[in-house]
Structure 1
């Protein structure tokens, strides 16, 4: 009889957790702490209402001070059973129906929303003023250098997410390719945005389609607003998880406001194995 209650609260927690990104997508700002604080409110409110209802039902069923089992009439027994078992069962069925009809934020839709937030981050940072004339990025992870235009993601391959490079990793550790402030850490922990003091904004995105994993196999070591230096560990990922789900683990690195630069040059050859923290690409203003 008590099993449904924790299941209900688990469903509520999952719905509220997924709605954090939905709220950011809908309203334009992230209110994670405020949104998640609703869960204990629902818990406390539900507990208070259940105690109040049980007290009313007990009184209606004649279970008052001094009452004995023999004093409870058949009618009162029926009232008690219907109120304590029949009504809650009906209420749960109605609640399940409402959730099925009204809660339409599926895993696929949630993944689309997170991807849209990535694109918004890229678009928003294009307005920043870039002070540096030359910017060099180091490789965030060990692996084989890949031409960004050849990756299996139209947004990155087309350059709409900025110019940069890609790495087919042989290691699961990802380090900061530039010093700056963490501007975005996606809730799925597969992407990090860094803005340097010169206004250069870099997006490090691990894998293609990995948003579907919802953070499984990823560990983040930074949070929004934190300052990092070149070589600081940003995150780790476990390649077997990505491979098991049939996804590509290629690490994508772009300067999202690269339109501020007139030229960029790869310091290594495509296909070459590059070590983590080795210089890979240089951006320049003018020739």
Structure 2
């Protein structure tokens, strides 16, 4: 066979082989992109170290307190409030889930005379944790997740670790600075912890705010939980801030005392 003809046949064979490989590569790339889009649309996992879009719960559940008293609540199981509809094949669970479930968060709040009697559970259309997401250690001041209040809505703003128990409030943040004489509680950012909250003693504050150098307050911490038959008057903060001064007479913090419940 002539050298030119042999070279032509060899080059043609390589081009055909290269074209086939290119087609296989493009097909594989298309399949991967399709699978990625399908998974991404169904799962809204948190990526550590990156800010994510706030998630609204699809259902809000409450139990304990009045919902455990047949005299006042005749429903079976917890109170369920549907918040939004899940799309496609995604479903919103409306029964109380175990605390380790990947599609819900369970927590308690503070602030009114009966609020500690209740457990709250927010459900979401898809898992909020990745499978490799670490578990919370329960260490003091460790933040498990953050909530943001908008009107009557509580949004999941950030997740840091998986909480296997019922989370408690670690601290509140204010979107705008407030002055000590402010009459309304402005806490709309809530940081939750898995660390066990100690019970407040008589000489402890249930809520502590530290003013900045400009005199404004931008948040406060919940160092302990009021004992039974008492509550921390966060939502009734007017004229309840007790100033704490250093040896120079300068105010370094404000505290709230536990109040006895009305019933």
Same fold (TM over 0.5): no
* Structure showing the higher strand proportion among its residues: 2
Structure richer in helix, relative to its length? 1
- TM-score, normalised to structure 2, is 0.31
**Which structure would you say has the larger RCO, counting Cα contacts within 8 Å and 6 or more residues apart?**
1
State the TM-score, normalizing by the size of structure 1.
0.29
